[in-house]
């Protein structure tokens, strides 16, 4: 499964351009990635228009301290689980319902991403 489809890439890059032009932008996450064998979850809002390998969003590695930041798409794509049978996946059923700041506030209070 592709972590980013062409349609999602367009949305993520548009958010990346908008964030570069407006530091107060509070975009809604475009997609959710997760580790099917663990607790790690990412809500991604944008891709860096100058380096499409760099995504930005809310990350929860399952250690009780979710935070916003950057992640390498290539690095996440390269993760192999269950002796190579699985990798990081995109949640096909997830739908965003609030801006990133709301997810951050809720996640920091709960110690994990609640979506």
Tell me: pLDDT of 29 over 80: yes
More confident: 37 or 84: 37
Lowest mean pLDDT among 22-31, 47-56, 84-93, 102-111: 84-93
**What pLDDT is stored for residue 113 in this prediction?**
96
SS3 87: coil
Tell me: pLDDT of 81 over 90: no
Average pLDDT of the chain is 94
| 31's tokens | 């997609």
The whole model's pTM is what? 0.94
Region 27-46: mean pLDDT is 95
Burial of 21 (0-12, 13-18, 19+ CB in 10 A): exposed
* CB-CB contact of 46 with 27 (8 Å): yes
């Amino acid at each position: 499964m592709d972590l980013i489809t062409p349609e999602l890439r367009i949305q993520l890059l548009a958010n990346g351009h908008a964030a570069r032009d407006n530091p107060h932008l509070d975009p809604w996450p475009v997609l959710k990635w997760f580790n099917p064998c663990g607790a790690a979850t990412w809500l991604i809002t944008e891709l860096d228009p100058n380096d499409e390998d760099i995504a930005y969003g809310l990350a929860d590695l399952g250690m009780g301290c979710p935070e916003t930041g950057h992640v390498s798409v290539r690095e996440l794509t390269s993760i192999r689980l269950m002796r190579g049978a699985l990798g990081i996946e995109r949640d096909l059923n997830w739908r965003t319902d609030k801006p990133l700041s709301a997810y951050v506030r809720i996640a920091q209070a709960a110690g994990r991403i609640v979506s």
